[in-house]
Amino acid sequence: MSTQQLAMRGLIKGLVQGVFFRMETQQQALQRQLTGWVRNTSTGHVEVLICGDEANVGSMIEWLHQGPALAKVSAVELARINNPELDDFQIVS
């Protein structure tokens, strides 16, 4: 199992607002011991920053492609960034 740290930031597109996407993302991230944040954008997307163990980040990315039950994800666009070394995972505005 890899212990390399990874940070990814980007957008989740589709029907992702008004379907508990941020709350579910936070819960999923905390279950995977990830740090970062999630927020709605003014363009109707959800933006995320996820940081942690490479395997857990990979698992989280898989979940982001599906999202919560009411979501209809059409695209996940993430890019690797330098790890900001955050302490928790928050819903931000």
Residues belonging to the active site: 22, 40
Backbone φ and ψ of 32, nearest 5°: -95, 5
Q: Residue 72: how many CB atoms within 10 A of its CB?
A: 11
Beta strands in the chain, from DSSP E residues, in sequence order: 5-15, 35-40, 46-53, 72-81, 89-91
Question: Residues 78, 84: contact at Cβ < 8 Å?
Answer: no
